[in-house]
Amino acid sequence: MRVNIDGREIETKHKKTILELARENDIYIPSLCDFKGLEPFSGCRLCLVKVEGMKGYVPSCSVFVKDGMKVKTKTSDIQKLRKNILELILTEHPNACLICEEKENCDEHKATIRKVDEVTGCVLCPNNGRCELQNVVREVGLEKVRFPSFYRDIKVKKDDPFFDRNYNLCILCGRCVRVCRDIRGLSVITFVKRGAKTAVGTSFGRSLLDSGCQFCGACVDVCPTGALTEKAVKYDSPPDKKKDTVCPLCSMGCSLEFNFFKDKFLGANPAGSSPVNSGQACVRGRFALRDVVRSENRIRKPLIRKNNQLEEATWEEALDYASEKIKKYKPDEMAVVTSPQLSCEDIFVFNKFAEKVLKTKHINKKAEGSPLSLVSDACRKNGISLPMQFKLDDISELDAVFLMGGNLMESAPIVWLSVLKALDRGADLITAGFLESPVDRYASKKLRVTPGMESYLLAFLSKCILDDCGGKEFAAEKGFDEFRRSLDGIPYKYLEESTGISIEAVKQTADILRKRDKSGLIFAPQVIGREREEAAAEALLNLAFLSDSRIFPLSVEGNHRGWDAINKDFSEKTKSISEIWNSIKKGQYKALYTAAPLDIPEDDGLELLIVQDSFTGDDLDKADVVLPACVLSETDGSIVNTEGRIQGLRGPLDSLGDAKPDWEIVTKLAGRIGSKDFGYTTAGDIRKEMARKLPRFKDISQTLPKRGKEVFLKEDNEYRKKYIPLNPLNELEKETPQYPLRLVLEHGFDYYRNCLLSEEIAEFDLFRSKQWIKMNKRDTQKYELKEGFPVTLKSKKGQFKGFVHISEYVPEGIVTAYYIPGRDENRADLNLSPVKITRGK
Amino acid sequence: MKKVDPEKLEKLRAQITASREKEKTCITICGGTGCHAYGCEEIAEIFKNEIKKQKLGDKIDIRVTGCHGFCERGPIVVIQPEGIFYQRVRKEDIQEIISKTAVGKEVIPRLLYKDPQKGVRIEKEREVPFYKKQKRIIFGRNGFIDPTDIKDYIALDGYKAVSKALFEMRPEEIISEVKKSGLRGRGGGGFPTGKKWEICREKDSSVKYIVCNADEGDPGAYMDRSLLEGNPHSIIEGMIIGAYAIGAGKGYIYVRLEYPLAVKNVTLAIEKAREYGFLGESILGSDFDFDISVFKGAGAFVSGEETSLMASIEGRRAFPRQRPPYPADKGLWGKPTNINNVETWANVPLIVEKGAQWYSRIGTETSKGTKIFSLVGKINNTGLVEVPMGMTLREIIYDIGGGIKNGKKFKAVQTGGPSGGCLPADMLDQPIDFDTLTRAGSIMGSGGMIVMDEDNCMVDVARYFLKFTQEESCGKCVPCRIGTKEMVEILTRITEGKGEIGDIKKLKDLAETVKNASLCGLGQTAPNPVLTTLRYFMDEYIEHIEEKKCSALSCKELIVYFIEPEKCVGCLLCKKNCPVNAISGERKQVHVIDQDICIKCGACLDVCPPKVSAISKYTGKDKEKILEQHNRKKTKK
């Protein structure tokens, strides 16, 4: 296509708007409402241009270029019109500074004036220097405003966490409204009222917390003015440096930019060009990460227990102390606990250390509640092979999405964005879980299954498919007969009763999954107990075979896939963190080296406990030696995200205190003990060895992959099916008058090593607290409880405490609490059992 | 099973006509909006009870019909088949109408309409001057149809056009017929309807929608409402034909919730149409499926704009969006969609049934057919009038409308709703069609016509209309949201006597910006009242600004009320009625208004007996003089 803009002939291939083409070619057209990735809005009217053959002035943001198109962007009438429009915008926005003749002088001499609350001009505005309105005024060259100013005088909204909303500065470009609705699928904010009173707000003016806001920060990032500003950096200068990195807080591995001003770390923004998160993030990466990595609770120096007190020590002392102690233990007397929140390099070195130095088989290699681990274990156990890696685009291209395991907005917000894209294209969403969730409003079918009965629901679906199609086409496949017999043995009526779902709903779902071209089963994390989780993973595989659906097993922690891949290459023997925890309880080990947070029991019988962590935690109380580890953002390791994408962290931050990367600590320790196999001086040295030794890491090299360069874990391409017969489940204990409620644990995601986000960050606690005991409003009325009341949950097996949180998503008769593997094992024992709730601490 | 095919439909029609004795007396009571306000419901009820009581049921039929249009003279009762036209009928008249006219065929002169010009009483509806010059091809059937009875519609050749379209015409032929008829969109834009259909038909999509825009929001305009209330089947029939021509399977009628009777009648009509097989699967036994849903809008003015109407149906805020893409490309839920206004749809069956040739004989070169206007304001015969395109404003206002109220002088007429323009007296002989109106700086709009007399201040009128569009601006685009607000502020300033010379330039500048830069029709046309009053009544602006004078004596801040000492008889009436006790004076002594207290409510002027008419309004220099005098007296005291 050839397009003529202001007399310049421009060649272009792709479909794009006049505005996009002009920008690519450095032709300036002012615009305030247009934003990359959002549908054209055409509200600010600043980008009006003349197009030959089109009536009047047309907004260049919404007109696509055509071959032979002739565009004028700078005629005098356009420029006059633009000035007039901009002038109107400025009547609704404090404008004194924008058109002030002393502007430059002021910038120079009053650089730090803006520490006030009432913003009446740019010098007082937190957005000064990064405001798009300032740029537009400069470019358009407006010098005066002929009309009286209109100050909306709306009270600045500060009661919500993370960011403030000052709608006196809002120019109603609608970017926040659109990003919330169109990209995030939420519509927490919208336009309210009409005429001159039009404003952005929540329904009924409620707080964001009460409006279902997920605090992803997308609105803050698109706001062109100072209307939405992040509290933490509100009064800081605009960053003078940005560094690329990857968020370590969940398995998505979002590309982030760390912002610095004069080397002070200001916080993180999602990176626009990322193939993973394309400019989006979530509350963890956008707001929490800053406070996590620079927490007051970071361990800055090695500690050694002397006279029953942990005392600061040098690295020399601590390593000597630890290595001397370790040397005393025979193979298998010592256990090692690693975590999927370590980098690949760390995990590799830990495994090697356990194998070569400690010669112990007791290293945890399995995670609870992680769909990825569950499905891959089920495959391994049954000789099944199928692709388990994917790209997010594979999800956006689905025609039917079966989502098992609850609230994707919380567990994997970026995966949810891909689901939304599929829905936009007309895909059907079916949600299956025991709780309601905010994603349900998009579901064409909601299957509210009885907690714990997920595998039966999946079997129910399989049975419906088989009975519908006769099953002949599968007859020759491995394990089919036995599987079919196991289904035939269970009558529909029993399935209906045990899952709580009608056969009609299941049949319709089965129909959708089987008949759509591209159906996908997204398996999101949930906690329903080990056996039930395993049974669910197996049942899911069966369903995938029968419905020809693809499985998307999600992972939980930052480097879950990397951890899983490395562990498997070391030894087949699997142990989960809770098995190790239980063994500690039984006094099976004499010594423990942990790099994952653990609740160590009172009388553990351990002779030696080495804790390696970045944050102080309860496990330090028992530790004999504490080794301060860097957070991932301080290392140049690599992590593998939920897709299987290997990404480099590129250490944007300097290490805090004396903290060292985990791999380096282990390497030094190995050296002290006398091993010659750990000659690494950089993470790159480890990668070199990994690429050689681990087939799945064949594609990595000493230097880290750059952002945008796609490096994935190698995957076995073989497709081997086998049906697994349905395992009968134990019946759940029934509720009694004494224990009238059922506790269902929800997977907690808001932690990084020993740091609990809601404990670390007061604002996070308002948004989502680890201490919440969620229940239905009617139940709170029944038990005379109110929001925030301290309560104790008791079952026959034990008890724990928390605070009441009323949630519309929890059905009556159920209470939920968060569970984090390893550190909440006392809660795990109570899962799915009847409980009673009592007031008081 | 009531479902019919073309053959059964004709049989049914014959049956209905046969069962209705042509000569049987029928009392038709107008059930339109205007007559409703006059209490026609109660009147109809009494009529029914009386007929029952007197056991006249087999001699006399009662029918509550749609709007007759002559709302000024409601409640209206017409005795058929003679067509005796009674107006301003009261409860007390009912007995007499039944006994004398319905039974005795005797006319009651007191209830007849009296021609104000000739002073004679007129007996027949069609001879009333208000109706005489009209050409009521769309609206005429309203008066004969009970909108809740589909049989009434069928009896008047209803659904004949559907039958013809589905079985005798190909979709292309229908479109070509509509194109040839010259029908243009009655919603205001005036886009050729056939062309619009053709574009939508040519779009390759298995799913298409059609929409009937019944979000009539112009204040004072109620023709779409009266059509939907009075003859809903004609719109449904038009939509079926349109859907068949375009290839749409689903239609929506977007009607505002503030029109409860329209919602009720059209919903019922759709149900009935389904029962008879005019809607649903295999319409009239053909292989064409189509159905209609009623969507109730929340009443935002901007929802009448087609893209925001679609957003509203989709469940979003009624925000317009930039066109192109037009609805034919990207309409409801992204599918090709054709939107026409109520009146446009109502024209369709006529064109199909009687042919484009017949239709195109009515109207002007570029604007064919008739147009329904709602004639309101300072006019004697308020009501809905249907006239052929090309009739002059003078004919409408004077011949049909009966001229200006109270013998005042005509000043301007505002056409096309709040965003139309105000046309002065020297435009009265302009023929009304889409193009002349546009040239004059106004619009056809949906057909609102507000007549103004010498008491209307044109600056204030502009301010009034702009304030309406300003408050109804959706807030999406800058020029409309802020530009109109600034304009209202300047206009308010001028009407308060605080205008400055630069204001006119600012106003013009703003008006041009809003007109050229706004996103949708609402903003693009909002400045029309200002632009046209600046064009035709500039002297009034200048007078307001320079002399602080309002010749129409309308702008409160620029006038004083004054009691003429030589006329005042000291009757105390004004004094008693003054809400702020600004008037002093004893019985049989001259009263005086304390100008410092007076709030210029005009109560004194209203109550002062016409024989006395001692109270006058003054503006400009005269006002200053009176104030000066007043102040002097006060200081003396």
Q: Find, in chain B, the residue whose alpha carbon is nearest to that of A148.
A: B486
Whether residue A794 sits in one domain with residue A667: no
Give tens-digit pLDDT for B284-304.
999 999 999 999 998 899 999
Residues 295-334 of B with CB under 8 A from A: 300, 302, 317, 319, 321-322, 324
Distant-in-sequence, close-in-space partners of A723: CB < 8 Å, separation ≥ 6: A474, A477, A478, A479, A480, A482, A483, A484, A542, A545
Instruction: Give the nearest partner residue to B513 out of A84, A92, A191, using CB atoms.
Output: A84
Last residue of a domain, one of A520, A553, A586: A553
Homologous superfamily (CATH) for B150-360 = NADH-ubiquinone oxidoreductase 51kDa subunit (3.40.50.11540)
DSSP states along A520-571: EEEE----S-HHHHHHHHHHHHHHHHHHT-EEEE---STTHHHHHHHHHHH-
Alpha carbon distance B294, B251 (integer Å) = 9
The predicted pLDDT at position A110 comes to 66
CATH code for the domain in which residue A690 is found: 3.40.50.740
Q: Kindly state whether residue A581 falls inside one of the protein's structural domains.
A: yes
The predicted pLDDT at position A112 comes to 58
Whether residue A783 sits in one domain with residue A670: no
* Contacts with A193 from chain B: Cβ below 8 Å: 475
Is the CB of residue B449 less than 8 Å away from at least one CB of chain A?
Answer: no
Homologous superfamily (CATH) for B18-132 = Glutaredoxin (3.40.30.10)
- How far is the alpha carbon of B399 from chain A, nearest alpha carbon, in Å? 39
The predicted pLDDT at position B540 comes to 96
The predicted pLDDT at position A620 comes to 87
Q: Is the pLDDT of residue B633 over 90?
A: no
Whether residue A392 sits in one domain with residue A525: yes
Give tens-digit pLDDT for B234-261.
999 999 999 999 999 999 999 999 999 9
Alpha carbon distance A59, B637 (integer Å) = 67
The predicted pLDDT at position A48 comes to 97
A835 forms beta bridges with: A741
Contact B477 A191 (CB under 8 A): no
Per-chain mean pLDDT for chain B:
93
Instruction: Give the nearest partner residue to A191 out of B317, B518, B519, using CB atoms.
Output: B317
CATH code for the domain in which residue A383 is found: 3.40.228.10
Q: Which residue has the tokens 């500048």?
A: B509
Q: Which of B482, B505, B508 to mutate to test the interface with A (most CBs of A within 10 A)?
A: B482
Last residue of a domain, one of A31, A49, A74: A74
Whether residue A537 sits in one domain with residue A408: yes
- How far is the alpha carbon of A348 from chain B, nearest alpha carbon, in Å? 52
Give tens-digit pLDDT for B566-587.
999 999 999 999 999 999 999 9
- How far is the alpha carbon of A504 from chain B, nearest alpha carbon, in Å? 27
- How far is the alpha carbon of A51 from chain B, nearest alpha carbon, in Å? 13
* Contacts with B517 from chain A: Cβ below 8 Å: 45, 48, 57, 81, 84-85
Instruction: Give the nearest partner residue to A88 out of B300, B471, B478, using CB atoms.
Output: B478
Would the CA dihedral through A569, A571, A575, A581 be positive or negative? negative
Between the alpha carbon of residue A74 and those of residues A68, A69, A308, B515, the distances in Å are: 19, 16, 78, 20
Q: Kindly state whether residue A427 falls inside one of the protein's structural domains.
A: yes
Whether residue A307 sits in one domain with residue A445: no
Instruction: Give the nearest partner residue to A43 out of B317, B478, B513, using CB atoms.
Output: B478
Instruction: Give the nearest partner residue to A91 out of B473, B486, B519, using CB atoms.
Output: B486
Contact A196 B482 (CB under 8 A): yes
The predicted pLDDT at position B518 comes to 96
* Contacts with B519 from chain A: Cβ below 8 Å: 42-43, 45, 59
Residues of the domain holding A8: 1-74
The predicted pLDDT at position A116 comes to 64
- How far is the alpha carbon of A90 from chain B, nearest alpha carbon, in Å? 10
Give tens-digit pLDDT for B260-271.
999 999 999 999
In B425-504, the DSSP E strands lie at 448-453
Q: Find, in chain A, the residue whose alpha carbon is nearest to that of B479.
A: A85
Instruction: Give the nearest partner residue to B477 out of A43, A191, A193, using CB atoms.
Output: A43
Instruction: Name the more confident of B22 and A561.
Output: A561
* Contacts with B480 from chain A: Cβ below 8 Å: none
Q: Where is B308: in which H helix or E strand? A: helix B306-313
Give the amino acid at A460. F
Last residue of a domain, one of A535, A553, A571: A553
Contact A85 B472 (CB under 8 A): no
Q: Kindly state whether residue A465 falls inside one of the protein's structural domains.
A: yes
Is the CB of residue A44 less than 8 Å away from at least one CB of chain B?
Answer: yes
Residues 189-248 of A with CB under 8 A from B: 190-191, 193-198
Instruction: Give the nearest partner residue to A81 out of B473, B489, B516, using CB atoms.
Output: B516
Give tens-digit pLDDT for B41-87.
999 999 999 999 998 888 899 999 999 999 989 899 999 888 999 99
With bands split at pLDDT 50, 70 and 90, how would you rate the model's confidence at B635? confident
Contact A57 B482 (CB under 8 A): no
Which tokens hold the place of A721? 């099916």
Contact B479 A63 (CB under 8 A): no
Q: Kindly state whether residue A759 falls inside one of the protein's structural domains.
A: yes
Strand B370-377 versus strand B448-453 pairing type: parallel
Is the CB of residue B470 less than 8 Å away from at least one CB of chain A?
Answer: yes
Give tens-digit pLDDT for B525-564.
999 999 999 999 999 999 999 999 999 999 999 999 999 9
Contact B300 A57 (CB under 8 A): no
Q: Find, in chain A, the residue whose alpha carbon is nearest to that of B515.
A: A56
Q: Kindly state whether residue A156 falls inside one of the protein's structural domains.
A: no
Q: Is the pLDDT of residue B417 over 80?
A: yes
The predicted pLDDT at position A114 comes to 60
Q: Kindly state whether residue A482 falls inside one of the protein's structural domains.
A: yes
Whether residue A346 sits in one domain with residue A378: no
Contact A42 B322 (CB under 8 A): yes
Rounded average pLDDT over B200-219: 94
Q: Where in chain B are the domains? A: 18-132, 150-360, 370-453, 458-546, 556-636
Contact A191 B506 (CB under 8 A): no
Split into its structural domains, chain A has a count of 4
Nearest to A435 by CA among A815, A794, A751: A815
3-state SS, A127-167, equals CCCCCHHHHHHHHHCCCCCCCCCCCCCCCCECCCCCEEECC
Nearest to A462 by CA among A179, A723, A794: A723
The predicted pLDDT at position A583 comes to 83
Whether residue A419 sits in one domain with residue A481: yes
Whether residue A750 sits in one domain with residue A605: no
Whether residue A443 sits in one domain with residue A377: yes
- Cβ-Cβ contacts under 8 Å between A and B: the total is 93
Contact B470 A63 (CB under 8 A): no
* Contacts with A146 from chain B: Cβ below 8 Å: 506
The predicted pLDDT at position A115 comes to 59
Whether residue A441 sits in one domain with residue A329: no
Is the CB of residue A30 less than 8 Å away from at least one CB of chain B?
Answer: no
Q: Which of B476, B490, B506, B522 to mutate to test the interface with A (most CBs of A within 10 A)?
A: B476
Is the CB of residue A701 less than 8 Å away from at least one CB of chain B?
Answer: no
The predicted pLDDT at position A618 comes to 85
Instruction: Give the nearest partner residue to B482 out of A56, A81, A88, using CB atoms.
Output: A88
Give the amino acid at A588. Q
Alpha carbon distance A227, A220 (integer Å) = 8
Alpha carbon distance A335, B188 (integer Å) = 81
Rounded average pLDDT over B597-614: 93
CATH code for the domain in which residue A56 is found: 3.10.20.740
Whether residue A450 sits in one domain with residue A391: yes
Instruction: Give the nearest partner residue to A195 out of B475, B478, B518, using CB atoms.
Output: B475
The predicted pLDDT at position A113 comes to 61
Between the alpha carbon of residue A794 and those of residues A555, A823, A831, the distances in Å are: 31, 19, 11
Contact B475 A84 (CB under 8 A): no
Whether residue A508 sits in one domain with residue A379: yes
CATH code for the domain in which residue A814 is found: 2.40.40.20
The predicted pLDDT at position A122 comes to 87
Q: Which of B191, B471, B478 to mutate to test the interface with A (most CBs of A within 10 A)?
A: B478
* Contacts with B324 from chain A: Cβ below 8 Å: 63
Q: Kindly state whether residue A91 falls inside one of the protein's structural domains.
A: no
Q: Find, in chain B, the residue whose alpha carbon is nearest to that of A92.
A: B482
Q: What's phi and psi for A702, nearest 5 deg?
A: -60, -45
Between the alpha carbon of residue B48 and those of residues A814, A836, B54, B94, B149, the distances in Å are: 61, 68, 10, 10, 17
Cβ-based neighbour number of residue B291 at 10 Å:
16
Q: Which CATH architecture has domain B556-636?
A: 2-Layer Sandwich (3.30)
Class of domain B370-453: alpha beta
Residues of chain A with pLDDT under 70: 110-117, 572, 707-708, 841
Alpha carbon distance B593, B615 (integer Å) = 10
Q: Among 1.20.1440.230, 1.10.10.60, 1.10.10.10, 3.90.1640.20, what is the CATH number of B458-546?
A: 1.20.1440.230
* Contacts with A46 from chain B: Cβ below 8 Å: 478
